[in-house]
Amino acid sequence: GQSLFATAGWKPWRITGLDPARPMFEGEPPDETIDPQDGEYVEIFHTSGGKLGVWNPHGHVDIYVNKGHSPQPGCELEYFRNSELVIST
């Protein structure tokens, strides 16, 4: 989407990022990730920092749901720790 908007020469009014993935965002240059320059208002929700999600801010507003830690309350089933369950399903 970013290259489409750059070609058109305008920014979207609002972008909501849901849990940017650490493998694709951490250490990458700003033009390859989401940041405040990508839209007029960029908000990011973080829910799994330190595992597969990023801790660092990427928006005008960064919301760390339950401090951004994983697992979130009520989601204690750890995908990586319960491989037997995943394999059996």
- pLDDT (tens digit per residue) in 34-83: 889 989 999 999 888 777 888 888 999 999 988 777 766 776 665 555 55
DSSP-derived secondary structure for the chain: -HHHHHHHT---SEEEEES-BHHHHTT--GGGS--GGGSSEEEEEES-BTTTB--S--SSEEEEGGGG-SSPTT----TTT-HHHHHH-
Query: How would residue 25 be classed by pLDDT, with cut points 50, 70 and 90?
Result: confident
pLDDT of residue 15 exceeding 80: yes
